Amino acid sequence: MEYTILGKTGFRVSKIGLGGAPLGGDFGGTTDEVVTSVVHGALDLGINFIDTAPLYGRGESERRIGQALKGKRDHVILATKAVMRGTPYSYENTIQSVEESLQRLQTDYIDLIQLHELEQTSYEEAVNEVLPAFRKLKEQGKVRAIGVNAGKLELLMPFLEEDLVDTIQTYAKYTLVDYTAKDELLPLAKAKNIGVIHGSPLAMGILADQPAPFLQDNHALLEEANRRMEQLQYLRKSEPKGLVEPALRFSLTCPDIAITLTGTTSIRSLQVNANYCDGIGLSNQELNKLFTLFPGQRLF
């Protein structure tokens, strides 16, 4: 297992982290027993970063993770988010959201609290309501570090430029079919020593030959994704889902990404993905070719 430091937080984290959305049942039914086995399996593999949110399973992901971590809380860097989608991003709601997360997670502190889905609020509301609430909770010892989350890179940039947070989290923006994060976001985060967490390294399942259900009606996107994947045949392994390994290694070995998240309810899948966290990435020749294929071309 490879480890690194998560930016200015100083947290020593595994380069691969466990994502909590599937643990809430968002991608198919699961059980408390399965989640406990996956969490314990992750710890056994050396994974020490777990990321969840109240949104995942409407609280079920947090509840199950909290249950699985009984007696093992000190073994992980635990991250969650606020607020629940559909709830106003006010100071009071942020405080309440975190308090409820603490109860579900059965802990008295959260290592990293993140504003969830910048797309659902405004910059002004984030800066004037949510972040002050996070800072208050930090003063009280209920959270240790502060971050923000967004899919759109342009929404994250002001938080980097103004040095407002300890971490940022985005998804599907440093993948084999869309690596636009490398242009501005990653260099700026590195300069500011702000830790970067990257989710969906398989581009919403596209690189696993199994696009997420919510993409099925987006025919233009899938057509473009398939066009790009045709140009990646030189990376594809012979086995089924042959772009999974190169896609994970691509994100896991990026020096400017601290944590790449993998979300699964399968111990077998977790073990396979963890095996790719060995410091071995694409060759320089493979990388150089990749970066000539879709420079600055956003897919999502």
Rounded Cα–Cα distance for residues 168 and 87 (Å): 21
Rounded Cα–Cα distance for residues 210 and 139 (Å): 44
Task: Report the amino acid identity of residue 53.
Answer: A
What is the sign, positive or negative, of the torsion defined by CA atoms of 185, 189, 194, 199? positive
Rounded Cα–Cα distance for residues 211 and 265 (Å): 17
- In Å, how far from its chain's centre is CA 156? 14
Is residue 56 annotated as a catalytic residue, yes or no? yes
Find the catalytic residue in 56, 89, 174, 179: 56
Task: Answer whether 141's CB lies under 8 Å from 147's CB.
Answer: no
- Looking at the annotation, which residues are catalytic? 56
